[in-house]
A = this chain, B = another copy of it.
Amino acid sequence: MGGLETDLYQLTMAAGYFQAGKVNEIATFELFVRRLPASRNYLIAAGLQQAVEYLLNLSFTEDEIRFLRGLPQFAQAPPGFFELLSRLRFTGDLDAVPEGTPVFEGEPLLRVRAPIIEAQIPETYLLATINFQTAVATKASRLAEAAGSRAVVEFGTRRAHSPAAGILAGRAAYIGGSTGTSNVEAGLRFGIPVFGTAAHSWVQSFASELEAFRQLQRLLGPNTVYLIDTYDTIEGARLAASLGSPLWGVRLDSGNLFELSRAVRGILDAAGLAGARIMATGDLNEYKILELAAAKVPIDAFGVGAELATSADAPAIGGVYKLISDPTRFEMLVTGTTSVCPSPPALCVTPLPGVFSSDRFAAFPSDRMQLIAYYDGNGTAELDIHLVNPAANTCCVLT
């Protein structure tokens, strides 16, 4: 399962390792980010659970192997290679920093040690998993930092890169500090709090805004959030206030949030609804939230969509997965130059980035990583992974 969810070159290299008699050679790879994007100075590690699930299930079906046999790139591959694929399982060790850990340039997020074919094939899947979720968790952390005591909810599935990415964005955002997500499947699958009430189409579908609000209050009671900007925001706030309790509050999705939030707060307070809250949405990011927070606007919660679910200003954090030199052979690449390390890797410190690792075992204390999965003689066994949300101070056991 999942055997073909990789770049073709991982599989041609695997065939080549087989051809070259390297099947039993043990290789160690590390996944790390060489250079942080310009707008990031730390990362929040995320995606480990999906990485572990992939490694535990990695295998090739007959159909998948038949497809490979039909490709021109495998015309000369040794037949024994396909037999190897048909019984391939990941039997290596995986070390990783726990999800939610802050990591920095050059610091490994995970390390795979396995027979070289089993270590090479997972590169693409592990990178796609860790790069994406780490990007979103990091963005969520920045948003939570900007919002301070205000809640940030992940609302970006519609702008996520596929529905599947939307589910994982909700997960990663929660690890990074979001209070919850609008993605219902993420709620079911990962136990993350889910939020949402109604859109403009709800208001539009009724003959009047007041009728739309009445129906919503009847349905949602204390969870009612009126979206008040479909026609006129101030009038929308007055209509919402006229319905009194129960309600959670109102949502602003357009216009000048500095002015509107204060005006709406006044309308709610004047109606005796001091406990009603104001949520703001609409193309928000950490910079806009910082400005709003600095102005002490009466906004209680932010919903963030595209910017969070796509990490829009840094959509690709650029993690790489690199072969660690073994102690007997440790050439390294500094772009355009070959430098041969004069001493064993653990003692050799070379400037990052641009180095194919070798030194990072020494540069970063190993107690930041912990054993996540290991080979128990029959296959890879998995240890408990806990999903921790710093904002909610809750902890969901995932396995």
Contact = CB atoms under 8 A, between A and B. Distances in A.
Interface stretch (A89-97, A201-209, A286-294, A371-379): A201-209
A33 to B, nearest CB: 12
A221 B9 CA distance: 15
Contacts of A184: 4-8, 11, 67-68
A79 B127 CA distance: 45
Contacts of A163: 2, 5, 54, 124-125, 128-129
Interface in A225-243: 230-233
B323 A201 contact: yes
B158 A161 contact: no
Interface string A122-137: 0111011101110100
Contacts of A333: 200, 230-231
A398 interface: no
A174 interface: no
Contact of A316 (B19, B125, B159): B159
A124 to B, nearest CB: 5
- Measured as residues with beta carbon below 8 angstroms from the partner, the interface class of chain A is 35 or more
Contact of A219 (B15, B215, B336): B15
A109 interface: no
B166 A128 contact: yes
A50 to B, nearest CB: 8
A254 B124 contact: no
Interface stretch (A70-78, A141-149, A268-276, A345-353): A70-78
A164 B166 contact: no
Contacts of A73: 194, 196-197, 220, 223
B215 A19 contact: yes
- Oligomeric state, in number of copies? 2
A17 B158 contact: no
Interface in A305-358: 306, 309-312, 315-316, 318-319, 321-323, 325, 329, 331, 333, 335-338, 356
Interface string A33-64: 00000000000000000000010000000011
Given A159-B318, A166-B5, A331-B231, A12 B312 contact: no
A219 B77 contact: yes
Contact of A25 (B5, B29, B205, B215): B205
B167 A165 contact: no
Contacts of A200: 322-323, 333, 356
Q: 4 nearest interchain CB pairs?
A: A8-B196, A9-B196, A161-B161, A164-B164
